[in-house]
A and B are shown apart, each in its own frame.
Chain A
Amino acid sequence: MNDFWIITTASLVALNTAILGSFLIMRKMAMIGDAISHAVLPGIVIAYFISNSRASFPILVGAAVSGLVVTALIQFFSKKVKLQNDASIGISYTFLFAIGIILISAFGTNVDLDQECVLYGEIAYVPIDLIYWGNQSIGPRQFWILFSTAIIIVTAVIIGFRKLVLTTFDESFAAALGINIVFWQYYLMASVSLTTVVSFESVGAVLVIAFISGPPATAFLITRSFKQMIMYAIGFGISASILGYYTAVWLNGSIAGAMAAVIGLQFALVFSIVKFRQRSRIQDIPVSGA
């Protein structure tokens, strides 16, 4: 049963991140996902400390606030003082992440958050933390949180799909149609922040990025339409969750780490196949005019 809950939880993370990651990588914003996933830390720690519980709502608020702070910082550096974009991202999120770690150390004795959990989560403990309906356990808390998030994300993306695709593919055409570019940008970023925060506890900051960038990138190599890309990305994400779990069991190591490793292997495999086929196709074409 534990296997089932861990794999299901990871699959839900994979589902949410595959959908949003597909948009992010087509918008060349994969590193914004990286920045947000690290930067939510101080907000989470403070909320954790103030509410003294793992209650989801305060943590969500805390994370949202620090998500906003990092966006504002990046904007400040890149727009106000004209620092190059990549450096702006780098400065902003490392700063907030450092503050988060300091806060953990400061509150360390009162709060059971630890540094390692922040980076690679503790998905192994998911099945222990159950919620109850009366006396009956109805499954792990993390599962229900991620399940509700998945419903929100899927609904949000279906509603906004057309506008999101249009603003992703051709921003100026979208603007000329009168579509509010900034609104849809924030719509997407809000979804990314939500997903990052709720996935944080199970897979940690860095591995959310593996899920956001990996499966969509692998799918991108072999798809013809954007809908297909999302579907493939979900497929790759979920299969990486399953394979990753058993790899971790086999090696007796971190589950989330193993999932990231499998995501990397999937990409390497698809990449090589695509390269190999391209090469053989080039050789197949007869030299014209010979």
Chain B
Amino acid sequence: MEAQDSSIETHDLTVIYNKKPAIWNIDFLLPKGKIIGIMGPNGSGKSTLLKAIMGITEPNIGYSKIFNKPLDEVRDRVSYVPQRQSVDWDFPASVYDVVAMGRFAKLGLLKRLTEEDKHIIKDSLEKVKMAPFANRQISQLSGGQQQRVFLARAIAQRADLYLMDEPFVGVDASTEEAIINLLKSLRDEGKTLVVVHHDLHTAQHYFEWLVMMNTRLVASGPAEEVFNEQVLTDTYGGTLTTLSKVANLLQEKSFPMRHK
């Protein structure tokens, strides 16, 4: 795969938390128009990777590109779905209010919602089957419904690339199925979907491309090639002891990873 055909390219991406690498030298190209899973054990830096790609966390080393361009040039083509638990669902807002946030980037500071925006919001709500709940207060939603609201907000952005952080966590079976069908229909429209996921059982059925990581990149490639015992052992079978010793030393001695 060449860089110009890729949806996401990361180059030696490294993020350091507390002087210790949370992700280390992640370097890959992801294809377009596929459902891509990012997998790895807890604390392996999956969410950090998404945040670094979206510029929410500034990478200490390396860079990433989206559609072969810097993020800022293509921001309106990318949509990010944070972890559901990252927000306070007691916030006084309705389902409609939250989905409308998906249009804010295009509206700027003061412009009101146009008829078209309203249509898009409604349409997005229908796609996740939440239209009847449009006026429901978000604090009254179940976990699965909250997740659908987040997805509707992302759809309302009308992006080409969707980055989703653990959309399947804490949702009921019917929501899980609805989400995966939604992902497939988006893929059929030519969109790219990158999903952080941790359930190994479903991984093979959900994703066409897999990124396996554990702080470092273990493998990235078509699901049927990547999903084998060796890769799984490398990803989940404990950390590389030498690597984590070096990481601990960096932290202990406050050693800079790069210097000039």
Contacts and interface: CB of A to CB of B under 8 A. Distances in A.
A173 B82 CA distance: 6
Nearest to A163: B109
B92 A226 contact: yes
Contacts of B163: 176
A26 B91 contact: yes
A175 B101 contact: no
B28 interface: no
Given A172-B82, A178-B75, A226-B92, A162 B107 contact: yes
A50 interface: no
A135 interface: no
A170 interface: yes
Interface residues of B, number: 29
Task: Provide the main secondary structure of the chain B interface.
Answer: mixed
Interface in A107-160: 159-160
Interface in A174-207: 175-178
A220 B92 contact: yes
B244 to A, nearest CB: 22
A175 B55 contact: yes
A256 B110 CA distance: 37
Contacts of B54: 172, 175-176
B116 interface: no
B109 A177 contact: no
A163 B110 CA distance: 10
Contacts of A175: 54-56
A176 B150 CA distance: 14
17 contacts: A26-B88, A159-B110, A160-B109, A162-B110, A163-B104, A166-B101, A166-B104, A170-B101, A177-B105, A178-B72, A223-B92, A224-B92, A224-B94, A225-B92, A225-B93, A225-B94, A226-B91
Given A26-B91, A173-B153, 15 more contacts: A26-B88, A159-B109, A169-B91, A169-B101, A172-B54, A173-B81, A175-B54, A175-B55, A176-B55, A176-B82, A223-B92, A224-B92, A225-B92, A225-B97, A226-B91
